[in-house]
């Protein structure tokens, strides 16, 4: 919460960001406009029988909101799944998604942990195991939220490779990348309030350094997707929409 609050107060002092950070309640979630979300929902509104993948945790409000689109929603809580995959001390800066330092990483199923992955096939195996979709699954939209902030480069690449198989050409990937120096130690819980506003609900007050991935880096790692548009927001979040390229 603190990193958002401090940023918000800086914005307030600077006289900006009022329209993006609305009605912030002390101790409660912060509300921000999301232009990428608006673009995503606009695109979704034009389609029917959508299949949407939410890589974040289950949030009742989001389910309710997305139900308006008549979509089939997959909720995978990938961060939680990876955390369950191995022990995860929270808030360690030099740790991967599971929070384990390289020297102590091991996994019960013989899979090495991500930062030791010399062979990308192993990374692919991990995501195939954690996100075992039926082969015929074709997503129209993927909500990655701020998950990439908590992933290492090879993890992002492997995840993108996995998702590419299950996304139809033209599918959109929505991601929120922080440009701040510090981010919460765990991914934020995002709640869709309406077609252009998100509530940010940090799950911890602990923080960790942010990898601050650049647009070009993400574009390079997310093979199979291309950057469609991005929005740099005043509160330190760069919003992205990637689009799944044609096969």
Partner 1 sequence: MVWKKTDDTQSEPAPIPQRPLTAATSEPLRRTDRPPATVGPSIFIKGDLSGEEDLVIEGRVEGKVDLKQHNVTIGKNGRVRADVFGRTVIVEGEVDGNLFAQEQAILRQSGAVRGNITAPRVMLEDGSRFRGSIDMESKETPKPAAAVPATASPSPTSPPSPPSPPSPSSPTSPGSPASPAIGPAAAGPPPPAANTEVGAAVAASRSS
Please report, as ranges, the residues that interact with partner 1 according to CB under 8 A. 16-20, 33, 35, 38-48, 50, 57-60, 63-64, 67-70, 72-77, 80-81, 138, 140-141, 168-172, 179, 195-196, 215, 219, 226-234, 236, 241, 243-244, 246
Picking from 240, 200, 178, 148, the residue whose alpha carbon sits closest to that of residue 33 is 200
Measured from the CB of residue 109, what is the shortest distance to partner 1 in angstroms?
Answer: 18
Q: Which DSSP category does 175 fall into? A: E
| Residue 164, both tokens | 């590419």
Tokens read off for 167: 């996304």
Give the residue with the Cβ less far from partner 1, 116 or 219: 219
Question: How many Å apart are CA 164 and CA 223, to the nearest integer?
Answer: 8
Polymer length in residues for the chain: 247
> Least separation, in Å, of the C-beta of 13 and partner 1?
15
| Shortest CB 32 distance to partner 1, Å | 10
Q: Which is nearer to partner 1, 82 or 117 (CB)?
A: 82
Smaller CB separation from partner 1, 68 or 104: 68
Least Å distance between CB 87 and partner 1? 18
Compare residues 101 and 170 and give the one whose CB is closer to partner 1: 170
Smaller CB separation from partner 1, 100 or 140 = 140
Q: Do 33 and 233 touch, CB atoms closer than 8 A?
A: yes
Question: In angstroms, what is the minimal distance from the CB of 168 to partner 1?
Answer: 5
Cα separation of 142 and 12, whole Å?
Answer: 33
Distances (CA, A) of 121 to 82, 102, 127, 165, 237: 17, 19, 10, 14, 32
């Amino acid at each position: 919460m603190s990193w958002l609050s401090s940023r918000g107060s800086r914005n307030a002092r600077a006289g900006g960001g009022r329209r993006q950070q609305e009605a912030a309640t002390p101790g409660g979630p912060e509300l921000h406009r999301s232009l990428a979300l608006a673009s995503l929902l606009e695109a979704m509104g034009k389609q029917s029988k959508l299949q949407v993948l939410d890589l974040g945790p289950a949030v009742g409000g989001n389910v309710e909101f997305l139900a308006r689109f008549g979509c089939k929603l997959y909720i995978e809580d990938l961060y939680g799944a990876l955390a369950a995959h191995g022990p995860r001390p929270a808030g360690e800066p030099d740790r991967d998604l599971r929070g384990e330092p390289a020297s102590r990483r091991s996994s019960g199923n013989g899979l090495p942990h991500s930062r030791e992955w010399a062979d990308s096939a192993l990374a692919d195996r991990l995501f195939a195991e954690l996100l075992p979709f039926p082969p015929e699954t074709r997503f129209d939209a993927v909500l990655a939220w701020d998950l990439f902030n908590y992933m290492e480069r090879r993890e992002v690449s492997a995840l993108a490779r996995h998702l590419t198989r299950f996304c139809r050409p033209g599918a959109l990937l929505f991601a929120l990348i922080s440009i701040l120096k510090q981010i919460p130690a765990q991914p934020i819980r995002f709640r869709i309030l309406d077609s252009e506003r998100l509530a940010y609900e940090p799950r911890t007050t602990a923080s960790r350094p942010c990898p601050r991935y650049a647009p070009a880096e993400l574009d390079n790692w997310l093979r199979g997707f291309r950057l469609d548009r991005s929005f740099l927001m005043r509160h330190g979040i760069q919003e992205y929409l990637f689009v799944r390229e044609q096969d």
